Amino acid sequence: MKRSSLAWILVIGAILCGLFVISLFAIMAVMSDGGGFSAGGDRIAVVPVEGVIDDGMAKEVNRHLKQYGDDSRVKAVILRVDSPGGGVSASQEIYREVKRIKEDKKKKVVISMGSVAASGGYYISAPADKIFANPGTITGSIGVIAEWLNYKELAEWAKLKPVTFKSGEFKDTGSPTRDLTDAEKKYFQAMIDELYGQFVGAVTEGRQGKGETGAELNKERVIQLADGRVYTGEAARKNGLVDEIGNYEDAVKATAKLVNIKGDPQIITPPKPKEGITLLDLLLGVTKITNVSPSQLPGQLVNMDTSVKFKYQWK
């Protein structure tokens, strides 16, 4: 092959590689902007909160909330909540970020409830400017639960004898191999009561003077509603836990009106996450093996988790 031909091949190859890299960056820019080609203008961001709230979800939701909170083009954020709640701390992580973009970033936050927005799902909704629910949405469940497996009798049947060394009386409280002592029951109940008080306080602060009952929704009234039961969307509205009955489209229209956007608002959403991890992702370094959760790897043996977990979760 002549040198001139080889040179032309190299030049064309370099151009094609350059175009590929530019296209790749353009696609990534579009994805980071919410998955759509768009110019400037006022926007409403919609962030989904779907499934059980855990640390991973809280990190992901808060990343999007921070992104849209820092974007001057985004005038309001809608949280589309379809969740039974989850971990106490994870729910509080999202709750604090919702408050931050309201108070520090001066963004309006509206909740659009799906099928379920209970317990932690309601906790993260409480500080919003307006809450929409469908008539049949399941919401409420204001309360705390702690649960774990106890296989004491199974161990005895299998003639297994647990051995424990500990530095203090409560170090192994919640052990799956023995019953709780009376002191431990009081200790756990005190923690439950404290976390419950935090939930009641968040709802009281967020819903004071809102809803059909207005200013009647004070702490005493919240405590009456906060016995762990769930409410339909219609019952929640009558009790002041939500503001209006309406679906997602109703929430979008009301949000646009709230921030003075004329006509159909420009909606942006986070890019959808990829399903699972491929071998190519690992080989190309797109995903580090240290960032892969065990549930994403094939053939993972699931260990029985016996740790005590405190949850804002409807069971």
Q: Which residues carry out catalysis?
A: 119, 171
Query: What are the φ and ψ backbone dihedral angles of 115, each rounded to 5 degrees?
Result: -70, -40
Query: What are the φ and ψ backbone dihedral angles of 168, each rounded to 5 degrees?
Result: -160, 165
194 vs 189: CA distance, rounded Å: 9
49 vs 295: CA distance, rounded Å: 20
Tokens of 117: 């927005």
Q: Taking the alpha carbons of 246, 249, 251, 255 in that order, is the dihedral positive or negative?
A: negative
DSSP conformation class of 173: T
197 vs 99: CA distance, rounded Å: 18
- Nearest C-alpha neighbor of 135 from the set 243, 231, 234: 234
